[in-house]
Structure 1
Amino acid sequence: MRIPKFWAEHKQRFQAVREGSDNKRQVTIKRYGWSDSSQAAALAHAKMRVSDAYQRWQAGADILRRERDKEYNAQNGIPIREPILFEQTWQHTTGDSLSKSHDSDTRLIVTRNRYGAQVANVNNIAIIDVDNADLLSQRYPKVYDAQRATGIMESTGAADSPSAIKKQMWIMVVVAIALASIIAFQSLSWLWLLGYLFIAVAILWRQASKEEAEQQQRQQAHLDSLQPYMTERLQQYVKEQTTACLRLYQTPAGFRIIAMHDTFLPSDDAVTALFQHLHADNNYVRLCQVQQCFRARLTAKPWRMAEVTQTGELDKTLPANPQWLAHDADNNSDIDDNAQARAQWLSAYDTFATRYRACHYIDTIRGEDAKANTPEAITQFIDWHDEACRVMKDLPLA
């Protein structure tokens, strides 16, 4: 797993002449550094990366000037930049029938992500994240856009079939123009036109409300169909992989699946096949493969909590500049002036988060040849996961 314990940031301004140019130019380069040994080593790494980028810039290369605080992806190649909250190891016993290449102990690292939620990172227990948006585009490709959606899924409809309300609108516009011409020609009262417009708007409003309600009902029916669809996909998988055993959970915006029958690495062909079969979230797949671990959110997203959206007891955004990120005192990097505000936010968030669950358990799907007993280390991880996510408690999903 690529989760360093220590992080630092270094920013430096250079004034030099690039190769092939007579113009003296300034360039400011910012890089992160990381280490498992010390903060000083992390800062030294950051300075080394700045120096390397400067040398490449001097040689005429097109470099990224500043590394932004973005989600982790295959393009930037930076390890998971999150403070570590907790670590645990479960040892696999000699009696466990595991893949020989993956028989190392199961390591868990709990981190705090960029919006404040706690996240489990595990090295060799396969966790698959599936979004409703991806499932809708697969199950109803003619109704939903293929791109990932955030929040409410929007129906696209057929491109060459205008809705009934659009037809009615154009008819009413033509009638309004004709009525206005008659009123002007006959010198009648314009109240006739105002009355017509009032009635037309009322009809259109009623029709729009009706269509909106029907669309919401269709969307809800489609969302309700996803759980049986996901169960069916899992059943199809275990028919082909008869030794497989998969545990299914529902999350606020999709599903989570944990493999119980064996340990896996994110780069394994079997994991890639499972990702594809279940239509796993592409960003999650890329993150697992780059960071060499599987991830699962344990606590609520702040913007789904009533304390944020309704009562205003907590701000939506976690205050920036975490204390664990060291800055070079010799440059102009912003020092963490929000440490107290951040600590207060996190304390309140952790308290409120106990009122929500991250997912709830649906079912376990076993293949015909799956063993009755799950390897002990995997069982221990699942028990820990279910407790941390408050899976079995009657709490709202967030």
Structure 2
Amino acid sequence: MIVPQYWAEARAQHRRNGKQITVRRFGWSDVGQAEAQANAERRAQEALDGLRDGEKLARREPKVPYNGAEGVPIREEIVARHDDVLITRNSYGARCLNTADVLFADIDFEQQPSLRFAIGVFAALAALGLLAGWLSESVQVLAVVLLIALLASGLLAGRVHRLYLELNGGHLATARKRILRFIERNPGWSFRLYRTPAGLRALATHRTFAADDPAVAHCFSALGVDPMYARMCQRQKCFRARLSAKPWRMGVAHHLKPRPGVWPVAPERLHARRDWVERYETAARGYAACSFLEVLGSGVVAPAVARVQWLHDELSGAQSRLPLA
């Protein structure tokens, strides 16, 4: 896990056949700005050399804070350090906990059926269409039924999905059953379960994990973890948990200033950011990011996890009974 203090950008240029090739790359450092600049210049030259050798490389890296970053560390303001745990401010202003080895899993409740589910419903309707066409020996009947299947599968998938959830006790009960099934197949695991505004958060307490451990990928798949979150855990080699409310859920209408909230910002624009953060933090005191529900599994808490769990619960308001946002 790398969340650098200093950032820089450099460009390298080469003229070939009368055309100029320009490559830009970011650099970073925890030591100082000069080292960040040197790192940027080295990366820019390496990328330019790769392009000259025929490699297919992007000429410019996108300036993004977390989601979508490829090969670049987390680009967020460091709000606080607790040994090896970092608290950062994300692109929309919320505080996030970043840890290299304590497994957090975000499970968002699906409001709509997944693509796989919808395809399954269409396949079932199409099979009925094939059967109807075969029994009637009519190509026209087959075509009509297949067309109906195509048009109706989306609507029917939604209704079947809602019925499935109702029969299984709703979103929370369905997600909880998935976790319990995973624990049955993996005895010794232990989770602290938290309710979030859009789903659940599971914290594995029995041991620590590297983000690229195959056991993590298996756990995420079995629990139905948000695919973007799972992908970014692997890319950034860390786990994350949001600690404060999303601004729009507590009536903060304006976005983090200046837009788009990517760190660092120019010195002359810092005052606008600080003003926004002050208003945001005042509002956030009345809300929690999650609420503790229960412990599932063995109940074992490894010492290395216990300190991160305490920090998470304290900073997220998990035991506060405040409204979630």
Normalised to the residue count of structure 2, the TM-score between the two structures is 0.78
Choose which of 211, 214, 227 in structure 1 pairs with 2:172. Answer: 227
Quick check: 1:2 aligned with 2:18? no
SS of match in other structure, 1:10? strand
Instruction: Look up the match of 1:102.
Output: none
Instruction: Look up the match of 1:279.
Output: 224
What CA distance in whole angstroms lies between the structure 1 residues aligned with 2:322 and 2:241? 18
Instruction: Look up the match of 1:190.
Output: none
SS of match in other structure, 2:314? helix
What CA distance in whole angstroms lies between the structure 2 residues aligned with 1:272 and 1:44? 35
Quick check: 1:374 aligned with 2:306? no
Change (3 A) 1:347 1:163: closer
Quick check: 1:395 aligned with 2:322? yes
Do the aligned residues in 2 keep the contact of 1:323 with 1:336 (CA within 8 Å)? no
Instruction: Look up the match of 2:107.
Output: 130
Q: CA deviation at 1:141?
A: 4.8
Q: CA deviation at 1:126?
A: 0.9
Q: CA deviation at 1:135?
A: 8.7
Q: Unaligned 5+ residue runs, structure 2?
A: 123-147
What CA distance in whole angstroms lies between the structure 2 residues aligned with 1:235 and 1:248? 11
Instruction: Look up the match of 1:338.
Output: 269
Question: Larger Cα Rg: Structure 1 or Structure 2?
Answer: 1
Instruction: Look up the match of 1:45.
Output: 39
What CA distance in whole angstroms lies between the structure 1 residues aligned with 2:11 and 2:167? 50
What CA distance in whole angstroms lies between the structure 2 residues aligned with 1:143 and 1:283? 23
SS of match in other structure, 1:362? strand
What CA distance in whole angstroms lies between the structure 1 residues aligned with 2:35 and 2:308? 32
What CA distance in whole angstroms lies between the structure 1 residues aligned with 2:239 and 2:110? 21
Choose which of 190, 205, 220 in structure 2 pairs with 1:260. Answer: 205
Q: CA deviation at 1:276?
A: 1.1
Change (3 A) 1:44 1:158: same
Q: Cα deviation per residue 1:6-59 (whole Å; 9 max; x = unaligned)?
A: 2112346x4612xxxx3x223443221011221110011112222223333444
SS of match in other structure, 1:87? strand
Change (3 A) 1:158 1:125: farther
Identity %: 33
Q: What's the C-alpha RMSD, in Å, of the aligned pairs?
A: 3.6
Q: CA deviation at 1:74?
A: 7.6
Quick check: 1:386 aligned with 2:307? no
Choose which of 290, 294, 306 in structure 2 pairs with 1:363. Answer: 294
Q: CA deviation at 1:117?
A: 1.2
Q: Cα deviation per residue 1:300-355 (whole Å; 9 max; x = unaligned)?
A: 122222132xxxxxx124314879638xxxxxxxx543221111111111221122
Q: CA deviation at 1:222?
A: 8.9
Do the aligned residues in 2 keep the contact of 1:323 with 1:339 (CA within 8 Å)? no
Q: Cα deviation per residue 1:167-194 (whole Å; 9 max; x = unaligned)?
A: xxxxxxxxxxxxxxxxxxxxxxxxxxxx
Q: Which has the higher helix share?
A: 2
Instruction: Look up the match of 1:167.
Output: none
The one-letter amino acid of 1:7's match is: W
Q: Cα deviation per residue 1:248-304 (whole Å; 9 max; x = unaligned)?
A: 112122211001111111122222211111011111111111211111111112222
Choose which of 158, 174, 181 in structure 2 pairs with 1:236. Answer: 181
Instruction: Look up the match of 1:179.
Output: none
Change (3 A) 1:384 1:136: farther
The 5-angstrom pairing of residues 289-308 of structure 1 reads 289-308=234-253
The 5-angstrom pairing of residues 64-213 of structure 1 reads 64-70=58-64, 72=66, 76-89=70-83, 107-133=84-110, 136-137=113-114, 141=118, 159-161=150-152
Change (3 A) 1:300 1:223: farther
Do the aligned residues in 2 keep the contact of 1:6 with 1:324 (CA within 8 Å)? no
Q: Where does structure 1 differ by over 6 angstroms across 4 or more consecutive aligned residues?
A: 142-145, 217-220, 321-324
What CA distance in whole angstroms lies between the structure 1 residues aligned with 2:22 and 2:292? 50
Do the aligned residues in 2 keep the contact of 1:120 with 1:298 (CA within 8 Å)? yes
Do the aligned residues in 2 keep the contact of 1:322 with 1:336 (CA within 8 Å)? no
Instruction: Look up the match of 2:130.
Output: none
Normalised to the residue count of structure 1, the TM-score between the two structures is 0.65
Change (3 A) 1:279 1:397: same
